Structure 1
Amino acid sequence: MTLRVILADDHPIFRDGLVASIEETGEFEVVGVGETAEDAIRLAKEMQPDVALLDLSMPGGGIQAARAIRAAGTAAQVAMLTVSEDDSDVMAALNAGVTGYVLKGVSAEELRRVLKRIAKGEAHITPSLAAQVLKLMQAAKVAEPNPIDTLSKREEDILRRVAKGMSNREIAEGLSLQEKTVKHYMTEILSKLHARNRVEAAIIAHEAWRDQD
């Protein structure tokens, strides 16, 4: 199945090269291209893509576009493609509901791999940013017992699979559960970890269990 992508970036040369790179293998179709937040919001509404891939610093702001698209539900997933490694930008993107935060230095092959995972709803954040994001998340919370220790065995089993990039469907199949049951467990896991989304939950899991892997 060909995955449908919209792309918004205000640098024409980079944007044109990105379209060619994404479509190179025939696994993706770029169904809309724009250069502003307004373009991205309009294209998402018109095309209902699998992934909206947004530049952080385009006119109108990638964060604002992501927030509007997520609120409207006009793209299945939203990802940020940016040069920014600034902590506040990463956190703002996560708070806006993006599924992926990818740096522009990534290779075309790796970007396609990441986009395929994001299209499945699997969280992705560039590994070099994960540790600093976790520190920010922890600094913003009141000192308390490690919330990961409050997970049940079943919740831990599910979180370990989330941390490996597995989708709810894959987790359900692996644990012989219904997908809606996995979604229910994920709600509980996010609540216990005080995580806003799967990206944060996966980061917490990676850091907590790093020495065990």
Structure 2
Amino acid sequence: MTIKVILADDHPIFRDGLVASIEETGEFEVAGVGETAADAIRLAEEHRPDLALLDLSMPGGGISAAKTIVRAGTAKHVAMLTVSEEDGDVMEALNAGVAGYLLKGVSADELRRILKRVASGEAHITPSLAAQVLKLMQAAKSAEPNPIDTLSKREEDILRRVARGLSNREIATELKLQEKTVKHYMTEILSKLHARNRVEAAIIAHEAWRDQV
């Protein structure tokens, strides 16, 4: 099944190359292209894509566009493609509901692989930024008891596999569960950990269990 994408970036040469890279294998269809936050919001409303891929620093702001799109539900998922490695930008994007935060140095193959996962409901943050996000999360939650201790044995089993990078389907196969059952457990895990997505849950797991995951 083709994944419908809209994208917005204010650099025409980069944008054209991005469209070519995304559509190269036929797995994606770029349904609309823009260069501003207003364009992104309009395109999402018009095409109702599986994924909105936004530039952070385009006119009007990618995060502003992401907030509007997520709030309106006009794209199933939103990902940010940017050069920014600033802590504030990463956290603001996650707070806006962005499911993917990718740096523009990523290869075309890796980009398509990540976008497929984000479009299927997985979350992704560039690994080099994970430590920064963890520090910010620790600072915000340092005064709170560790919620990971509230997980059941089954929830812990699932979270350890999330921390290893397994998808819901892979976890279901490994634990001999139905995929919808794993999704239900993930909802409970995210709630207990006060995590917005799988990325945050995996980071919390790595910090709590260190080399045990």
Output the TM-score relative to the length of structure 2: 0.92
Residue matched to 1:209: 209
Structure 2 distance, partners of 1:160, 1:33, is 39
CA shift, 1:203, in A, is 1.8
CA shift, 1:138, in A, is 1.0
For the aligned residues, what is the CA RMSD? 1.8
Residue matched to 1:189: 189
CA shift, 1:205, in A, is 1.8
Structure 2 distance, partners of 1:81, 1:91, is 14
Structure 1 distance, partners of 2:211, 2:4, is 38
Structure 2: which 5+ runs fail to align?
Answer: none
Residue matched to 2:73: 73
Q: 1:83 to 1:47 in 2, by over 3 A?
A: same
Alignment deviations for residues 134-175 of structure 1 (CA, whole Å, 9 cap, x no partner): 110110124243322221111112212333444445544543
Alignment deviations for residues 65-104 of structure 1 (CA, whole Å, 9 cap, x no partner): 1111111111111100000000000000000111110000
Structure 1 distance, partners of 2:142, 2:212, is 26
Q: Letter of the aligned partner of 2:112 in structure 1?
A: R
CA shift, 1:121, in A, is 0.8
More displaced 10-residue stretch of structure 1: 30-39 or 172-181: 172-181
Output the TM-score relative to the length of structure 1: 0.92
Residue matched to 1:137: 137
Structure 2 distance, partners of 1:100, 1:83, is 14
- Pair 1:31-2:31 in alignment: yes
SS of the residue corresponding to residue 141 of structure 2 reads: coil
Structure 2 distance, partners of 1:58, 1:7, is 11
Structure 1 distance, partners of 2:163, 2:44, is 28
Structure 1 distance, partners of 2:212, 2:142, is 26
Structure 1: which 5+ runs fail to align?
Answer: none
CA shift, 1:195, in A, is 1.3
CA shift, 1:58, in A, is 0.6
Q: Letter of the aligned partner of 1:60 in structure 2?
A: G
CA shift, 1:112, in A, is 0.8
Residue matched to 1:89: 89
